[in-house]
Amino acid sequence: MKKLRVLQVCYSYPPSFSGYGKQLDTVNRRLLAEYPEIEIELLTAFDRVVHSSRSAAGGPVSVHAVFRKSRSTENNRLRFFLFCLDILLRKVPAFLRADVVHVVKGDMEAAVSIFLSKMLGKRTILKITQKEVDDGHNAKRLYRRFLAFWIARADHVIALNRKTRNDLMRVGLDPARIVEIPNAVDVGAHNLLPKHERQEKRRSLYGFSEKAFVLLYAGTISKRKGIGDLLAALDAMGGAREFVVLIVGPDYGEIEDFERTISRINDRRNGVVVRYLGAQEKVAGFLELADALVIPSYSEGMANVVLESFASGVPVLASDIAANRELISPENGMTFRVGDREDLIRTIETMVGKTYDAFGIRRAAVEKYDIRTVADRYHELYRAMAAG
């Protein structure tokens, strides 16, 4: 069978943390396992040492990274600019080798990649994350118009949900070029533990009492993810019920006094215990400990961790932004008004008294978001694009 060469452009790719990079890695693993004709070459910014050693060991994806170390807050804007410049000046041979170019995230790297693809006669797929189509501030309006110009020149644009599709149409994109493909989850990589096993596991690992209600937050420590609202709500909570909140994710220094705020909450001894466990490559093991996942974001496309929570049979407590409303139903969780700390407290307290069908939550995740189905759709799209 003829080889199908796909060039992917993804600014932050594992082991550096990003939701979109993690999602791409999940899809790539399944594609390469199921379709031997596919060859993937990937351009990214970080972890050159790690990717070089993996390539030397025969890794399935040929990754070209610009910087030796992992992603951090140090000179982040400069690094992003240099990554985009590197694509333009040094990566033309990679574009020439490709049958299809797939860009993840519609920022400057998309503009540069689509420009090169058009110059070289290559067909492009652009996967949009929600913040690229959200309304911006006046100061960024000219830049957003520049990006919209290039987004409109991709051959196909992947939208994660109805809101993103509608937003793309609102800015003038032809509906025929919008492909709606959801994020995926490897359901088989997540365990559904009975309640007594979950309680025993968290007691043995962390000493939590059986009566504790355990919430998990998994994501970057950032304003956009709403972690400040969560901490403010926890600081105001109190009562007879014991709450334990596990926070998992990289801290890039965006939230001032983050760890000091956690210490203050714990020192109050108001029945709320917060544990920050740092960045973790996988959250499946932490979902096995949780009674619920909390996601207080101000903006999302389709949060990977929500799908992972469903795969583990764990209900979700989410802000009521459009992307979350498309995922959350009375059968799998609850929503609260975004940015409303009082409503977040009320919803947490309400969820404690509810019972969910864990097997039903997991079954629905398999039907809608299983990696096998989503990877097949990417394969079909790649094939169609390569065929012209």
Same domain, 119 and 199: no
pLDDT of 147: 87
DSSP codes joined into one string, 69-131: S---STTHHHHHHHHHHHHHHH-HHHHHH-SEEEEESSSHHHHHHHHHHHHHT-EEEEEPPGG
Please indicate, yes or no, whether residues 144 and 197 belong to a single structural domain of this protein: no
CB atoms within 10 A of CB 144: 18
CA separation for the pair 380, 388 (Å, rounded): 13
Q: In the prediction, which pLDDT does 138 show?
A: 44
The Cα–Cα gap between 258 and 276 comes to 10
The crossing angle, in degrees rounded to 10, of helices 358-369 and 304-311 is 130
- Note whether 43 and 10 are within 8 A (CB): yes
pLDDT at 208: 86
Q: Are residues 351 and 202 in the same domain?
A: yes
Confirm if 11 and 18 have CB atoms less than 8 A apart.
Answer: yes
State the Cα–Cα distance between residues 85 and 280, nearest whole angstrom. Answer: 30
What range defines the domain where residue 141 resides? Answer: 4-184+370-387
Provide block-wise average pLDDT over 10 residues at a time, the chain (388 residues): 94 91 94 95 96 79 93 84 96 97 95 97 90 56 85 93 86 90 93 87 86 93 94 86 92 88 90 92 92 95 94 97 94 97 95 94 94 96 92
What is this structure's pTM?
0.88
Look at the chain and report how many structural domains it folds into: 2
CATH number, domain containing residue 232: 3.40.50.2000
Residues 230 and 282 in one domain: yes
Q: Closest by alpha carbon to 71, among 83, 53, 59? A: 83
pLDDT recorded at residue 52: 87
The per-residue pLDDT for 240 is 65
Residue 332's Cβ-count burial label (10 Å; 0-12, 13-18, 19+) is: buried
Q: Does 290 lie in the same domain as 225?
A: yes
d(CA 299, CA 252): 18
What is the model's pLDDT at position 308? Answer: 96
Are 144 and 264 within one domain? no
Beta strands in the chain (DSSP E): 4-10, 38-44, 61-65, 100-104, 123-127, 156-159, 178-180, 213-218, 243-248, 272-276, 292-295, 316-319, 333-336
Shared domain for 9 and 156, answered yes or no, is yes
Do 375 and 361 reside in the same domain of the chain?
no
Show the tokens assigned to 135: 């309304």
Residues 294 and 167 in one domain: no
Q: Give the model's pLDDT for residue 131.
A: 66
d(CA 297, CA 219): 10
Predicted local confidence at residue 204, as pLDDT: 87
Based on the fold, state whether residues 133 and 40 are members of the same structural domain.
Answer: yes
* Cα distances (Å, whole numbers) of residue 2 to 39, 58, 101, 295, 386: 11, 21, 17, 44, 11
Residues 109 and 166 in one domain: yes
- Six-digit token pair at 124? 């492009």
Whether 332 and 258 share a structural domain? yes
Check: CB of residue 254 under 8 Å from CB of residue 219: no
Q: Residue 17 and residue 371: Cα distance in Å, rounded?
A: 20
